[in-house]
Structure 1
Amino acid sequence: MTGEDASPQRPLADLIAEAKDGRLTVNFNSDMRVNAEEFAYIDRDCQAFKDSIRSLQQIAMDIHRQQYWGLGEDQAVLTSAQTIVHRFRAKAAIVDPSKDTSNNAHDILEQHYQIIDALQELHRTIAQRYMATDQVFAARYNELMADMPPSSIGSSAIQGPMQSGDGKWR
């Protein structure tokens, strides 16, 4: 990426393009084999991971939008309370683009989401190429995808900020 290029390249973009064009190659040794199970479970787990990331991003946004923190931020004389509330919000997501950086939970999670999304697309593309040339692989992959058990990723419920009915933290 050059200094003039404002938009970053998508993670794994070159590998995805090679896979779509049928130019991606991998050398296997006798201990390695390709099977539909691994492709199907990777796809399922990537989706579960992406769903978990979106849930965590929602929690970050809930923190970012928290109206009352109970630190005295509503008192003009307590500027340090206002500063700390701004810092908490800014660590969840950008509040003021002129002051805050992308070093916050929401933006960092978005980077992770984009990486997992690219990995999922790469594996899906490779699986499609295998299915186009291997009927046994295609049949097994389709069978697995039709009756896929849920992923264990994100199986424990992600809890948001604990708030009482008045919007205060508990």
Structure 2
Amino acid sequence: MPHAHLPRPSARSGVLLAGLSGILLLAGCSSDESASQGQGGIPPATVVVETTKASDVSVRQDYAGRARGAREVEVRARINGILEERLYDEGQVVREGDALFRIDRKQAQAALQRARAERQVADANVQQAEREWNRIASLFERNAVSERERDAARSALDLARANLAVGRWVRGG
């Protein structure tokens, strides 16, 4: 495959190219202002001059944020009910034991009456179980009842006493 030989640029064409580049560069950097204004050049910028005055300026900056107290306290009622009145002012200092709210007494009184009735029922059940136990125990000594009946009477007495104790514990007394 024959190689095609490209002619090498001569030194004369290199000098000619450098000379033309220099002329174009000098023509672009001319400082002839009259020529540029006559050819539609950029006019000089307009400058406004102001005199300064010293005065106080208030600076206001607004920031979004959330404030929290150093201590937070959770307040809970000991009983359920409907709140009738708040007995303190917001931000007021209160001490342990201070009344903070007035709660409707109807529900609390009904719950108290129900608890008293349950206590009476539990007391009556214990008394009945004790009487039954005494009766069955004496009959068992005379072989008049079975061991199973005696155990059932004893279990009934234990259960009645446990129910009474649970009621006292739940109601706090």
**Higher CA-based Rg:** 2
TM-score normalised to structure 2 length = 0.35
Ranked by relative contact order (alpha carbons within 8 Å, sequence separation 6 or more), the top structure is: 1
Q: Which protein has the bigger strand share?
A: 2
